[in-house]
Amino acid sequence: MRYKEYNVNRVLEKCIQLFWVNGFRGCSVKDIVEVTGVNRFSLYHEFVDKNGILYNALQLYRERYCEDKFNILKETGQPNELLTKFYLSFLAEENIHPGCFFIHIGTELADTDERIKILVKSYLDEIEGLIYQLLKQDASTKHAKFYARHLTGLFCTSMSFCLIHTKEERLQYISNGIDVILNKYNSYATST
């Protein structure tokens, strides 16, 4: 019996870094072979094709890098503070790459690759669901859904626009965005 001589997640981890820096189109299978040290035949055997590597890399990113960040939205506290902390967790200096891998790949490929489109959509739906749960404590279902939709929109903006901001600009931009969106939510929440 032949044993796999490499660890699948370790290969995918290297691919996440590679795609993040060079873009998916910007790297060839040859680059992937060089970076991972796994030959073409084994890669295709495991992942079918280059796109298969990307789908699995997105899944690993979700499992490995998003859990802690998503959990911020489950903490107890003021929604605006938790939301700020949530957005900023993706942009923190200590991350290997600031931003969100899903938005990065979605920007590049979600209009040409149906599978990527579905993965990005379900990822954003998950975020919207978590924000909804957070806001539901103080608002009606209808209102919470409305605000969650727009705070997810702000997530998309933060994961793209804020990449070129300084730390201060980014904090300012995110708090301003949350304030404008939640302005009415707060008056609504306190009046009930």
Partner 1 sequence: MPQALNQTYDELVYKAQSLFWEQGYKGVNAQELADHLDVSVSTIYNKYTKDMLFMDSITYYMNTYSDPFLSQLRASTEGLISLKGFFYALIDALLDKTFPRSCLMVNTVVEMRNENQEVIDLYKKYFDALVNSYKVVLDKAIELGQIQHPEKKEEYAQFLLGVIFSLSILYKINDKESLQNFIDERLSFIV
107 binds partner 1 (CB under 8 A): yes
Contact (Cβ atoms closer than 8 angstroms) between residue 91 and residue 158: yes
Interacting span for partner 1 (CB under 8 A) from 51-59, 60-68, 88-96, 156-164 = 156-164
Q: How far is residue 16's CA from residue 186's CA, in Å, rounded to a whole number? A: 39
d(CA 43, CA 53): 8
In whole angstroms, how close is the CB of 89 to partner 1 at the nearest point?
Answer: 18
Binder among 124, 130, 135, 148 for partner 1 (CB under 8 A): 124
The candidate with the shortest Cα–Cα distance to 131, out of 163, 192, 86, is: 86
Amino acid at 63: E
What do you get for the CA distance between the two ends of the chain, in Å?
67
Q: Does 131 bind partner 1 (CB under 8 A)?
A: no
| CA distances from residue 125 to 25, 141, 153 in whole angstroms, order as listed | 26, 16, 11
From 3-11, 77-85, 100-108, 132-140, give the range in contact with partner 1 by CB under 8 A.
100-108
Q: Which long-range contacts (CB under 8 A, 24 or more apart) does 43-49 make?
A: 43/11, 46/8, 46/11
Q: How far is the CB of 138 from partner 1 (least distance, A)?
A: 18
Which of 69, 104 has the CB closer to partner 1? 104
Rank residues 49 and 111 by Cβ distance to partner 1 and give the closer one: 111
Say whether residue 129 binds partner 1 (CB under 8 A): no
The footprint of partner 1 (CB under 8 A) covers 22-26, 99, 103-104, 106-108, 110-112, 117, 120-121, 124, 146, 149-150, 153-154, 156-157, 160-161, 163-164, 173, 176-177, 179-181, 183-184
